[in-house]
Amino acid sequence: MRAVLTAVLAMLTLLATGTTSADAASSQSSLPGGKANFVITQGFLRAGSTQNWVRLGTYQFKANGTVSANTYLWWQRNPEGRQATGVVPDSSCSTKAGNSKSRVRACDVLTAAGFKGSPDESRTGTYTMAGNVVSIRWKIAQTWTEKWRVQLSPDRKLARLDFASSTLATNGYGYGSNAPLTTRRAMSSVRAFAGTLKQDLVSWAGNRIVKSDGQVFKQSSFRNCATTTWCLTYLQPSSPGACQKSGGCPNFGGGTRKNVSSIQYYLTKISNTDRRDTMWHWCTCLAMESKQFCYSGNSHIKPLLQIIDDKGAFRGWVGAEASFYPGARSKDMMAVFRVSDFR
């Protein structure tokens, strides 16, 4: 009886879709890790160069060997300012007083210019799989090829792309699943994530490259906002290396009599219909030096895309930093990074 039912179901699948269940399984297995929808960050980051760029976006693979990309681009050739998101955290998770040691300042969260709008670029290409390596060739005027090693998570709900090589980029991270790219998780779910998220990062600043792996991201330290529920905030009370007297805070920073080395962190949703989030952070002492309540200088802006697995669960972010300094490329801060429980 079970064999008969299986045969009937297979016939119904064939009549409805024109493919057998075996065909469907074969098509899925030809995708990288059996996954179709990926979030990607990659960059050209080279010491001594001021032609660096970062891209953040999505790749969609089809079983017929084609791939499409939609990406945001931030490039030192065309430095852009910061953009207000229009999100100001409410009084449950921020303060208007400015002297709190537990709540961030009530400021309009900033992100990278253009990230609130549609992606800057769309392109198509072809891909091939050889073992666990996916090779992509983009159909653009110049030669652009990429290779990524594909790894499946232990629960097989998520695929990770480990950057291998590219004719244009130097570094990158990627994650994919079969969840639609319209699937995202609320900030309450982000904060409640029970796993351990760790950050791996490649950054460019001051003409130098810095790599950092395994930094724990403490999402549970953030506050949920009661009214602006799409925002999380965290006032890190002190920092051992940042926000120091030698780092631009001669009057108020760590190492001075005032000894203010706290950091203002904001994490907010950009879109209801896709994976976009953003993070903004800056040293409290910098605003104090500038006699500002909300710092308007060279703060860190980090657009993010949520990593979502096959079951629709939040698993972290891929992100890019595109913090351009007015008129001085050597003071820009650029990075590509991932924050995930699967590294």
pLDDT digits 0-9 by tens, 265-277: 999 999 999 999 9
pTM comes to 0.91
Instruction: Quote the radius of gyration of the chain (alpha carbons, Å).
Output: 22
Q: Say yes or no to pLDDT of 90 above 70.
A: yes
The chain-wide mean pLDDT, for the chain, equals 93
Residue 149, burial from CB neighbour count under 10 angstroms (0-12, 13-18, 19+): middle
Q: Say yes or no to pLDDT of 337 above 80.
A: yes
Question: What does 212-281 look like in DSSP terms, one character per residue?
Answer: EEEEEE-GGGSEEPSSSTTEEEEEE---SSSSBGGGT-TTTBBTSSS-B--EEEEEEE--SSSSEEEEEE
Q: Rounded mean pLDDT of 145-164?
A: 98
pLDDT the model gives residue 327: 87
Measure the CA–CA gap between 154 and 175, rounded to whole angstroms: 14
Q: Rounded mean pLDDT of 136-143?
A: 96
Residue with tokens 């030096």: 289
% of residues, the chain, pLDDT over 90? 91
Q: Say yes or no to pLDDT of 52 above 70.
A: yes
Q: Say yes or no to pLDDT of 105 above 60.
A: yes
Which residue type sits at 205?
Answer: A
| Complete edge-to-edge strand list for the sheet that includes strand 333-340 | 208-217, 197-205, 333-340, 314-323, 300-308, 276-283, 263-269, 231-236, 223-224
Whether residue 159 contacts residue 33, with contact meaning beta carbons closer than 8 Å, is answered with yes
Q: Say yes or no to pLDDT of 22 above 80.
A: no
pLDDT the model gives residue 289: 98
Q: Output 17 or 127, whichever has higher pLDDT.
A: 127
pLDDT the model gives residue 29: 54
% of residues, the chain, pLDDT over 70? 92
H/E stretch holding 337 reads: strand 333-340
Of 232, 252, 228, 284, the residue nearest 105 (C-alpha): 284
Task: Tell me the angle at which helices 21-29 and 2-17 cross, rounded to the nearest 10 degrees.
Answer: 70
Q: Say yes or no to pLDDT of 18 above 90.
A: no
Q: Say yes or no to pLDDT of 4 above 80.
A: no
Task: Give the angle 221-227-229 at the CA atoms, nearest 5°.
Answer: 50
Of 105, 87, 102, the residue nearest 295 (C-alpha): 105
Per DSSP, helices labelled H in the chain are 2-17, 21-29, 187-192, 284-289
Q: How confident is the model at residue 24 (pLDDT cuts 50, 70, 90)?
A: very low
Q: Say yes or no to pLDDT of 11 above 60.
A: no
Residue with tokens 């970062």: 54
Lowest mean pLDDT among 23-27, 255-259, 283-287, 318-322: 23-27
Lowest mean pLDDT among 28-42, 145-159, 160-174: 28-42
Q: Say yes or no to pLDDT of 334 above 80.
A: yes
